[in-house]
Structure 1
Amino acid sequence: MNEWRPDKLARRLPNLQARARLQAAIRQWFIDQGFVEVETPILQVAPGAEVHLSGFATDWETPDGEEEQVRWLHSSPEFAMKKLLAGGLPKLFQFARVFRNGEGSALHHPEFTMLEWYRAGAGYETLMEDCAALLALAGVRELRWEDNRCDPTATPERLTVAEAFDRHAGVDLLATVGNGEKLAGQAGIAMHADDTWDDVFFRIMFDRIEPKLGMGRPTILCEYPITMAALARAKPGDPRVAERFELYVCGVELANGFGELTDPAIQRARLQADMDEKEHLYGLRWPIDTDFLAALDHGLPASSGIALGFDRLVMLATGAAHIEDVLWLPVR
């Protein structure tokens, strides 16, 4: 409590000054690249499309006296920014305040800053190049998390998810998709009651793979199984995997990018399936943003987009041990 007190603020101030410098450098980089900075509403019809996240809801009291309407604090500005893509903006970025309920750890906070950007007419490989450029803007010799180190100027390693599971867990991942017992058997781990393939995947991912990524140099983990990329398009030539990648530094997931799915029918079906799964697992479902679907019907251009955890990047640049060490005022 009382994180505004001079003694407590002074301890965080070097990190916060570094945060301000890095944000200014990133903003200038995007402007130099011809991007426009946008601001989209925090209040949304739906917080997002994630199956396993929990959201913050609020009541909107309309001025005409009609019945209150539920609105959500967004977990990402993705839907809104894609509407602007459909409206004709070719390159846009945003430092967005986003909200995820039930989160709190050294790397998680219920309110945090997400840097999100989109490029019309560009493949997701271009986003990988963007990530390398932004890491170099950190202005430090090494990025740090716990005892791990990473050179922010080094060319990132590109590793497919299947290659990572083979290298670090001895698993032929794509041969097991949909069969949790087969995946667990290949990895030599026990199945828990009611485990799904996804459950086993994430247990292996968190325990055996993530701690090995981004050591010495950044890692771009790409080509996720298509079932794990609701908003990404299938990779041309291999429909088993999606044009999705994540950026890892020092074992920390830093960014999640897609070659965007533009087919309205497929997107509708995936959103419906995700909300069905959310209801099955947690007994609730989020609304589907029909205005987002209308934007897809109008026509989303071939594009790519990515979200990067800005607070985490500041942590890595300053060596901070906890996300609250790089926030001006943590939520209390």
Structure 2
Amino acid sequence: MNEWRPDKLARRLPNLQARTRLQAAIRQWFAEQGFVEVETPILQITPGAEVHLTGFATDWEAPDGEEEQVRWLHSSPEFAMKKLLAGGLSRIFQFARVFRNAEDSALHHPEFTMLEWYRAGAGYETVMEDCAAVLRLTGARELRWEGNACDPGATPERLTVAEAFDRHAGVDLLATIGSAEKLATLSGIAMHSDDTWEDVFFRVMFDKIERKLGMGRPTILCEYPISMAALARAKPGDARVAERFELYVCGVELANAFGELTDPAIQRARLKADMDEKERLYGLRWPVDPDFLAALDHGLPDCSGIALGFDRLVMLSTGSRHIEDVLWLPVR
């Protein structure tokens, strides 16, 4: 509380000044790359497509006396930015304020800043190169978290999810798909009676893999199982995995990227499947944005996109211990 007090603000000020400098450098870099900075609405019909996230809802009171409509604070500007791609823009980025309920820890805050960008006509390997460039823009000698260090100028290691499971958990991941029992047994991870394969997957990731990624140099963890990439296209030549990657630094996930799915029929089916799973797990389902579906029907160009946690990047570049150390004023 009272984070505005002069003594508390003064302690955060060096981090906040670094935040401002980094944001300016990123904006300049994107401008040099021919990107357009956009701003899309925070209020949306749906907060996103994530199964395990909790959203913030509000009521829209129409001035003409019509029935109130539920709107959500978005968890990502993804759907809105893809509409702009369908409208003809080709390179766009945004510093978006986004919202995720029930999140509060050293690395999580209910309101935070997402740096999101999209490239039409480019594969997700190009976005991997973008990530390396953005890390270099920090100007830091090293990125730090919990006593670990990573060189932001080093070429990122590229590691498939299957390779990570083999290296750190001793498991042939793709051979276990669909069998939670097999994955749990081979990885030595405890399993609950109602666990799905994905439940066990995430437990292995948390217990044995994530904290080992991005040590010394960044890690690009790619080719996620297709069931974990509702908005990504399948990898050509191997439909078991998707063109999805996450960027890790010092064991911290910084970004999530896709070679974007553009087929409207497949996208509809995946969104429905995810909402069915959300309802099964949490008794809640979010509506699907019909305008997003209309944009897909109109035609989303071949494209790739990424969402990067800007606050986390500032944390790592300043060696901060808590996300609130890099916020002008935290939510309290």
Range into which the TM-score falls when normalised by the shorter chain: over 0.9
Alignment-derived partner of residue 63 in structure 2: 63
Once the two structures are superposed, residues 68-104 of structure 1 have per-residue CA deviations (whole angstroms, 9 ceiling, x without a partner) of 1000000000000000000000000000000000000
Establish whether residue 133 from structure 1 lines up as the match of residue 133 from structure 2. Answer: yes
2:89 corresponds to which letter in structure 1?
A: L
Q: Secondary structure at the match of 2:206?
A: helix
Alignment-derived partner of residue 153 in structure 2: 153
Question: What pairs up with 1:73-84 in 2 under 5 angstroms?
Answer: 73-84=73-84
Kindly indicate whether the alpha-carbon contact (under 8 Å) linking 2:189 and 2:203 is maintained by their aligned counterparts in 1. Answer: no
Q: Secondary structure at the match of 1:245?
A: strand
Alignment-derived partner of residue 283 in structure 2: 283
1:139 corresponds to which letter in structure 2?
A: G
Establish whether residue 188 from structure 1 lines up as the match of residue 188 from structure 2. Answer: yes
Question: What pairs up with 1:111-260 in 2 under 5 angstroms?
Answer: 111-260=111-260
Question: What pairs up with 1:4-83 in 2 under 5 angstroms?
Answer: 4-83=4-83
Aligned residues: 332
1:66 Cα deviation (Å)? 0.5
Alignment-derived partner of residue 301 in structure 1: 301
Once the two structures are superposed, residues 44-89 of structure 1 have per-residue CA deviations (whole angstroms, 9 ceiling, x without a partner) of 0000000000000000011111111000000000000000000000
1:192 Cα deviation (Å)? 1.3
Q: Report % sequence identity.
A: 87
- Structure 2 unaligned segments of length 5 or more: list them: none
- Structure 1 unaligned segments of length 5 or more: list them: none
Q: Secondary structure at the match of 1:13?
A: helix
Establish whether residue 328 from structure 1 lines up as the match of residue 328 from structure 2. Answer: yes
Q: Secondary structure at the match of 2:106?
A: coil
Q: Secondary structure at the match of 2:295?
A: helix
Alignment-derived partner of residue 265 in structure 2: 265
Q: Distance in 1 between matches of 2:277 and 2:183?
A: 21
Q: Distance in 2 between matches of 1:175 and 1:308?
A: 31
TM-score under structure 1 length normalisation:
1.00
Q: Secondary structure at the match of 2:62?
A: coil
Kindly indicate whether the alpha-carbon contact (under 8 Å) linking 2:36 and 2:92 is maintained by their aligned counterparts in 1. Answer: yes
Alignment-derived partner of residue 314 in structure 1: 314
2:172 corresponds to which letter in structure 1?
A: D
Q: Secondary structure at the match of 1:330?
A: coil
CA RMSD for the aligned pairs? Answer: 0.4
Which 4+ residue blocks in structure 1 deviate beyond 4 angstroms?
none
Q: Distance in 1 between matches of 2:278 and 2:188?
A: 29
Once the two structures are superposed, residues 241-291 of structure 1 have per-residue CA deviations (whole angstroms, 9 ceiling, x without a partner) of 000000000000000000000000000000000000000000010000010
Q: Distance in 2 between matches of 1:164 and 1:190?
A: 19
1:4 Cα deviation (Å)? 0.4
1:114 Cα deviation (Å)? 0.1
Q: Distance in 2 between matches of 1:199 and 1:293?
A: 29
Kindly indicate whether the alpha-carbon contact (under 8 Å) linking 2:165 and 2:173 is maintained by their aligned counterparts in 1. Answer: yes
Q: Secondary structure at the match of 1:117?
A: strand
1:308 Cα deviation (Å)? 0.1
Q: Secondary structure at the match of 1:144?
A: strand
Kindly indicate whether the alpha-carbon contact (under 8 Å) linking 2:19 and 2:314 is maintained by their aligned counterparts in 1. Answer: yes
1:34 Cα deviation (Å)? 0.2
TM-score under structure 2 length normalisation:
1.00
1:193 Cα deviation (Å)? 2.3
Q: Distance in 2 between matches of 1:72 and 1:38?
A: 20
